[in-house]
Chain A
Amino acid sequence: MGKYYVTIGLEMHCEVSRTNTKAFSSGRNEYTEEPNCNVSPVDMAFPGILPVVNKEAVRMSIMMSQILHSRIPEFMYFERKNYYYPDLPKGYQITQNPPEECVGNGGYIDIEREDGSTFRVDIDNLHLEEDAAQSTHLYDTTTINYNRAGVPLLELVTTPCLHSADDAITYLEYIRSIYQYAGISDADSKKGQIRCDVNISISDDENTLGTKVEIKNVNSFSSVRDAINYEIERQSQLKDEGRYDEVEQETRRWDESSMSTVRMRSKVDAIDYKYFVEPNIPRFKIEESWVEEIKKSIPELPYERKAKYVSEFGITEYDARIIIKDIEYAKYFEECVRLGADAKSAANWFSSQVLGYIYKKDIAITETFMTPERLAFIIKNINEGTISSKQGKELFNLVLEREEEPSKIMETEGMKQMSDDSVLLDIITKILDNSPSQIEAYKNGKTNLLGFFVGQVMKETRGTANPGLVNKLLMEEINKR
């Protein structure tokens, strides 16, 4: 990138979506579009309510802590972070602080880039806390949805150890996939389950640190990238112009509409959260046996699965890396293979066609009509020679366009690879009759002209001819002349 050395630290908030209930209440933890239906008195902070720690959320946080090679404290307790906001019903958030008392302290995770090189991200801390309610600011009013109030939240804080937007995104994507693979969260940014804060500074070289600017509430990975790049540009420009002293230690926010960062407050005006221990939750010991038990239950993680795909299924490293990115992708791919589709073909079709389609439509993999069953059906028919690969692509598009079963479309469209000797022979004879000069040239050694003849046949049959059969018949017929 530019001429300055960039240093980035990330805070990633991920809602724990896989517990039945909320972090400190019996309110249901379930995403729904209907507002204010998953709410207990505790979530709305009615007078007299008390928090009760969700053991399952603690279990998941301990699992994540282990995946990140973090230190797990012997005793666990919670703190109150006090501030007033209408979407914070109690007027304080139950969280963990300081880092050494959090469920994860220190640690690291190794990340692979797309080119196969790796880098290490150092973890400052991982802590378990509760989410606030959700306010929506309308023209002249604000609505509050308490469904989100009290949802367990894991906040993962890195040290300032990242140096490019690309690495930052690669790291975030990998952590998201870990949350999914470990069964902790759907980590779906469309449901607002992931939010990031970005700390960023520039300096002349890696031995000096510049002024840190914090960008709050960046709600998608693409925004993280945009915000980082914008901020590098902004800070670099000031530095170029000799105005680096105007870069202030401050909090900014990412403004989606103007694609820029906007100043919120300076460090001097930082909120004093008046942290103190939550008196309603007694300190509790995290038994070593429990930690061991949780460790044993860590499921296969993305990189392990990628290695398996390459070695067992023989697919390319490139395809495997794409497929493991999202556990739903991996599930889709594995289902295709289970249904009998050739793994290499499935990987190929998935990473090019299926992903291309869902990206274009901006839908989730689980929402497309092209289910693993339908894709596997198409792949099998191609590999068995029933249809040509060109027909396969047509079929793929028609299935999505008409939302009809591929078998039905094959029937109505008469999609079948032409494998009838006599029909093909008629076409071949006609083409050869019209191409005496090419036959001459072929016979004189220009054997690559065979491709020309095959092309003619394919054109004539609109790609439905069985290419193997065409080759065989062409050779025979030319040799006869």
Chain B
Amino acid sequence: MSKNIKLMQGNEAIAEGAVIAGCDFFAGYPITPSSEVAEILSNKLPKIGKVFLQMEDEIAALGAVLGAALGGAKAITASSGPGISLKQEHIGYASMCEIPCVIINVMRGGPSTGLPTLPAQSDIMQARWGTHGDHAIIAITPSSVNESLYETIRAFNLAVKYRTPVMILTDEIIGHMREKVVIPDKNEVEIIDVKLPDVPPEKYNPYNFTSGKVTPLAPMGEGYRYHVTGLIHGETGFPSQKTDVIQNAENWLIDKIYKNIKDIEKFEEFQLEDADILIVAYGSTSRSARQAIMMARAAGIKAGMFRPITIWPFPEEQISSLSKKIKKILVPEMNMGQVILEVQRNACGSKVYGLNIVNGEPITPDQIYAKIKEVSEL
């Protein structure tokens, strides 16, 4: 690995990761606590011949990103709660038209303008179900500044590979905190580039519901002509109301993600071998959980952690198999109970407890430790 180590902010690490991933285009509208992503890319991208656009609002920003992506660009936008609410219309369009893009959500307290400068993890379900209609989404929850950089690179790769919007869900803590980052050289990380289709334009279909493989999105301007619409469409891209086409199109949007879950999933296990209490924690809360687990172990309570890094698709299989061995599960999160719903759905026979703190401060190790102790005595 390179020895290029820097003290960096989470938002800065996302910008750095985007550049390493080969990002060609950013469009956005500033909003706390995500603005540094835009600020830093506005400086970096033009210097390397890439495009930075500040748009008139968040909807237009994602619109511009999708346009750029249809032109073959690796494109990204960054926002937070209220801005992500506005983007939902275009997130659905990106899902339906299978346009790769990366969407950063540095989560803050909500609903509405909520708490601009304070952290929350309250957009987990919004990331999954914020736009209407059946669809799948990939979302990633980094828990450190270093991970923010590497997961942004992975987000671009997954977006291109599966032609889907990929969300990075950090929060005000990870976004604004500074810690050490090891900056890789381009040749030290896997980077998936936008490819031309392997068929000539006259044989190209922009969608492929039947082969099980994701067709490369032909960049506009390369001679490949096709139709892009938010209406349900067949493999040529033109709208269709045939029942079999509709069913295939709907199945495909889900299947292309869920049938490749092994490639998309990513998680960390911490001290689970002999654990009697399973903590499921993600993002910044997992840092406190790790410290609380060490406190619990020192006090003789065997706790361990499962930390989803890819939060959507949810690691159903892992939770289900862990719940067969561990009968008490604790889900601490900075919201009123979102990931706990997924855990409950998959943990058959285990008792699932929540620790939900939404007071603008990160959940502390002491708070989680106190809850572990309480659960261990139940």
The answer to whether A binds B is no
